[in-house]
Amino acid sequence: MRKTYRGNFSNFGQSFPWVGLGLVLFGITVIIFPRILVALIAIPIIFSGILFLSRWFYNRSNRNGFIEF
């Protein structure tokens, strides 16, 4: 088999069907189970809220009025 492509994107054509297949499977999963999409959105928000509150309580225990990250 002869390679006829040129340029820097030589490996993109080999991995592109897997990207499309992953997007199709993700779309079917979201259509069948819409709560997975809600979980994917809600979980990072919940974890960032826990992190923010834990740092706020930690700074509050140090008698510091500012939130420092």
| DSSP three-state, residue 19 | helix
What total number of domains does the chain contain? 1
- Burial status of residue 25 (CB atoms within 10 A of its CB: 0-12, 13-18, 19 or more): exposed
pTM of the model: 0.45
Do the domain assignments include residue 31? yes
Query: Is residue 32 assigned to a domain?
Result: yes
- Model pLDDT, residue 43: 92
- The answer as to whether 51 is a domain residue is yes
Q: Please report, in tens digits, the pLDDT of each residue of the chain (69 residues total).
A: 555 555 555 555 566 778 888 889 989 998 998 888 888 899 999 999 999 988 888 877 766 556 555
In a domain, 2, yes or no: no
User: For position 36, what pLDDT does the model report?
Assistant: 86
Residue 52 lies in a domain: yes
Instruction: Please give the pLDDT value at position 22.
Output: 87
∠ CA(11), CA(15), CA(20), 5° rounding?
Answer: 145
Residues 38/26, Cβ–Cβ less than 8 Å: no
Domain assignment of residue 41, given as a range: 27-61
pLDDT at 48: 93
Q: Are 66 and 56 in contact (CB under 8 A)?
A: no
